[in-house]
Structure 1
Amino acid sequence: MSHPNEVGGYKLGSLIIEGKTKQVFDLPELPGHCLLLNKDRITAGDGVKAHDLEGKAAISNQTNAKVFEILKGADIRTAFVKMASPTSFLSKKCDMIPIEWVTRRLATGSFLKRNPGVPEGYRFTPVKLETFFKDDANHDPQWSEEQLIAAKLKVNGVVVGQDEVDYMKRVSILVFEVLEKAWALRDCALIDMKIEFGVDAEGNILVADVIDSDSWRLWPSGDKRLMVDKQVYRDLKNVTAADLDTVKRNFTWVKDQLDHLKPTIHHKVVVFMGSAQDKEHCNKIAKAAKDLGLSVDLRVTSAHKATEETLRIMQQYEDTHGALVFIAVAGRSNGLGPVLSGNTSYPVINCPPPSDKLVQDIWSSLSVPSGLGCATVIYPDSAAIMAAQIIGLQDYLIWGRLRAKQIEMAAALRKADKQMINH
């Protein structure tokens, strides 16, 4: 394949690497970035089987972009930046960790060959995670976690040890589960998938490379006979033009379906404050909630002084949203949370504002009449997280953001611990 000088308005530098289905170019005018250019080529069996497939580059590029936008929506750290042209995309420049991370929900394919006796369709709960060292000459041998750690791979200044492996394990599973929940919205089962990681110039480990129809198994309605992934091509004995058209139609179907994987639930977190003086506290709740991807409204009303108005506002939200969480910010005698809870079937969280009588205010929020179910927290971010956990039951992106936040917090603690030990 010839090397173009410019793609999508970006002047290309040297060819960094060329694979079976893509080329990666340096971008001299955009330091820290590179451009991945897809090929109209499909391969299998470490390149033993290979065919030209007109239009595949554009289909794969759009599929990849849509997948990474979903991951971005879940706050998963990736190298993907944006599409650069119909057949290419812009990425943060990374040195790649030469490991494929394969996550499986059902046993099929090579897993059955390596594990005789396991029936096809055996369900892994939790998901099964495997690692393979990228080595075409030896057909990408499977590595154990111990082999991976013992190899002490050094990538862009980062030595891959236990902490790095644990991080990539958790992110690999999160990527799979986010996409599994997304595909479930179209009654399509994500059976397994592979991803790769890279290390950027700052030492960050990012989901990198490409995620497209070469990367996973997809079975509509959970039926293997309806598979729409690259396995269709792998299984072909003699590849005809009609067969290639079928593969292309499948890939196009997957690309188009990705437009319909956004969460369909219309949610809202409504923060009721008993007084406008509590706005600063409520703004902290709203900021923490918005950082988790939540849609937030702030309202001022009093259950004691304007009961009918409070209930009217509440009912307006009930009539217009499919997923709701009410957060009551009231001190002194907290009637706001209990009144809301006694008149709605949606969850209510009490989060009293700071005051010199906070202990009494907390007790007022905790001591509610029988038959009511208000939760009570003190800190604004706690209220936001609890609201996100509730909305996340119906919105996989909010759920993913919570999981990503947990992973990043754990990674930060490990980094701090390592610095403390080495101090």
Structure 2
Amino acid sequence: MSKKGSLLAEGKTKKIWRNALTTSEVLIESKNDVTAGDGARREEFEGKGVYSTTTAVKCFELLTAYGIPNHFIGPLDATTFRARELSMIPTEVVVRRIATGSYLKRRPDVEEGERFKNPLVEFFVKLDAEHDPLMIRDYVSRRVLLYDAKKPLAEGFLREVRPVQSMEESPILDLFITNELVSLAERTFSVLEDAWAAQNVTLVDLKIECGNDVTSGQMVVGDVITNDEWRIWPGGEKSRQLDKQVFREMPEATHEAMKVLKANYAKVAELVGQFKV
């Protein structure tokens, strides 16, 4: 059983509530907001929370069916699902199959559309003051380097940091945690990539966040997986994209433009509903 208790956190597109009936469970509610540019641009459309929760629930059900550990317990209502409470790792993990988006800013030598034979995994540390910099580990010298995520690598170096094991001490992770995150991210991407490929849709890239179960300590996939967290190109064609990138590229959020965006999110929720679990 579930009942909304105190509000634990509120982000740009979701709220996280304490489940008043248990100490180890939270309720994740999707809002109708869509944002871009670190939240600088924000709009709303009716049904967005429903489409996001529908998408997240189906994705987590799919991951569970394939044995990928995650925090999902079950749906609560149209905009909310139940999840195990996690101690979140303050790092966004991005898996890329195709070069596009911000990757091209960091690597201007790479042509858009280049396909990576093995998915490329990147880490972005959640440091608001530095706009979530790219984290690169130098395995030879055992250093961790932070770079401006929106500049070419040759120009974007910010600083060197010391890796630690305790996330309470620093968001910069040690080698063991980093490798475990890579494994979770690659497995998650593989399952979702295959599910989309079955519908002739290319999963271009995917962002996930992970955390440790507060009860068991197990590292699992957390947060949400919605149409905000990936790029998907039907038929492999960027011109047919259905994800949040449409909003990012929108010159102006006119009524007609937002109507198209809403239809895209509704379509994605419908397609995800066809994933074979």
Which TM-score band applies after superposition, normalised by the shorter structure? 0.7 to 0.9
Q: Which residue of 2 aligns with 1:105?
A: 97
SS at the partner of 1:147?
A: strand
Distance 1:132 1:158, change over 3 A: closer
Does 2:210 match 1:197?
yes
Does 2:63 match 1:63?
no
SS at the partner of 1:76?
A: coil
Q: Which residue of 1 aligns with 2:150?
A: none
Q: Which residue of 2 aligns with 1:220?
A: 234
Contact 1:95/1:156, CA 8 A, preserved across alignment: no
Q: Which residue of 2 aligns with 1:270?
A: none
Q: Which residue of 2 aligns with 1:397?
A: none
Contact 1:156/1:200, CA 8 A, preserved across alignment: no
CA apart distance, 1:261: 2.4
In structure 1, what is the Cα distance between the partners aligned to 2:263 and 2:33?
A: 15
Q: Which residue of 2 aligns with 1:154?
A: 166
Distance 1:38 1:153, change over 3 A: farther
Structure with greater Cα Rg: 1
Out of 22, 25, 31, which is 1:33 matched to?
25
Q: Which residue of 1 aligns with 2:180?
A: 167
Instruction: Please give the per-residue CA displacement for 1:193-244, whole angstroms capped at 9, x wherever unaligned.
Output: 1000011122111100000000000000000000000000000111111111
Count of matched residue pairs = 255
Alignment of 1:78-157 (within 5 A): 78-145=70-137, 146-147=143-144, 150-152=162-164, 154-155=166-167
Instruction: Please give the per-residue CA displacement for 1:269-299, whole angstroms capped at 9, x wherever unaligned.
Output: xxxxxxxxxxxxxxxxxxxxxxxxxxxxxxx
Instruction: Please give the per-residue CA displacement for 1:383-413, whole angstroms capped at 9, x wherever unaligned.
Output: xxxxxxxxxxxxxxxxxxxxxxxxxxxxxxx
Q: Which residue of 2 aligns with 1:72?
A: 64
Q: Which residue of 2 aligns with 1:11?
A: 3
Instruction: Please give the per-residue CA displacement for 1:169-190, whole angstroms capped at 9, x wherever unaligned.
Output: 0110111111111101000000
CA apart distance, 1:259: 2.3
What is the identity, as a one-letter code, of the residue corresponding to 1:240? Answer: T
What is the identity, as a one-letter code, of the residue corresponding to 1:261? Answer: F
CA apart distance, 1:154: 2.4
Of Structure 1 and Structure 2, which has the larger fraction of its residues in helix?
1
Contact 1:11/1:28, CA 8 A, preserved across alignment: yes
In structure 2, what is the Cα distance between the partners aligned to 1:104 and 1:163?
A: 22
Using the aligned pairs only, state the percent identity. 37
Out of 178, 191, 197, which is 1:178 matched to?
191
SS at the partner of 2:209?
A: strand
The two structures, once aligned, show a CA RMSD in angstroms of 1.9
Contact 2:99/2:111, CA 8 A, preserved across alignment: yes
Unaligned residue ranges in structure 2 (runs of 5+) = 138-142, 146-160
Runs of 4+ residues over 6 Å off in structure 1: 156-159
What is the identity, as a one-letter code, of the residue corresponding to 2:205? Answer: D
Unaligned residue ranges in structure 1 (runs of 5+) = 1-8, 264-423
SS at the partner of 1:193?
A: strand
Contact 1:156/1:203, CA 8 A, preserved across alignment: no
CA apart distance, 1:245: 1.1
Which is worse superposed, 152-161 or 10-19? 152-161
SS at the partner of 2:273?
A: helix
